[in-house]
Amino acid sequence: MPPLIVRARPWYLRQKVVLTVTDEGLESPVFGLIPWDSIRSLPAVNGYYGRRLEVDVYDHELYISRMKSPLVRVLGRVGLLFGWPLLGLTDQVTGMTPEQLRAEIELRAGRTFPH
């Protein structure tokens, strides 16, 4: 199955790739490859900016350590204290509802994830 490339929809993000769904896992420009067995859950939640799909992993520190900027790594660790997910994708950015995106991810993963 060909990879699913999720691009940012708003014009000011210039169609940047925010997520690539491959046979091996989720590939993020910020965190690198997140293998399927590292993903704990994919809940769709309501938030301040609308509905979003959250990617929850077992080892947050592993992926936070991959961030290039020291400041962003600190913000990522502070976010964990507040219960923020490793990665959250709003429907405003992706142009897909969280449920549609989760269905596409689960199709390529060949399994379902806890919601």
pLDDT tens digits, 9-26: 766 667 788 899 999 999
pLDDT digits (tens, 9 = 90+) for 55-72: 999 999 999 999 888 998
- Helix segments in the chain, DSSP class H: 60-64, 70-81, 91-94, 98-109
Q: If we measure between CA atoms, which residue out of 108, 105, 111, 61 comes closest to residue 86?
A: 61
Quote the pTM value.
Answer: 0.86
pLDDT the model gives residue 11: 61
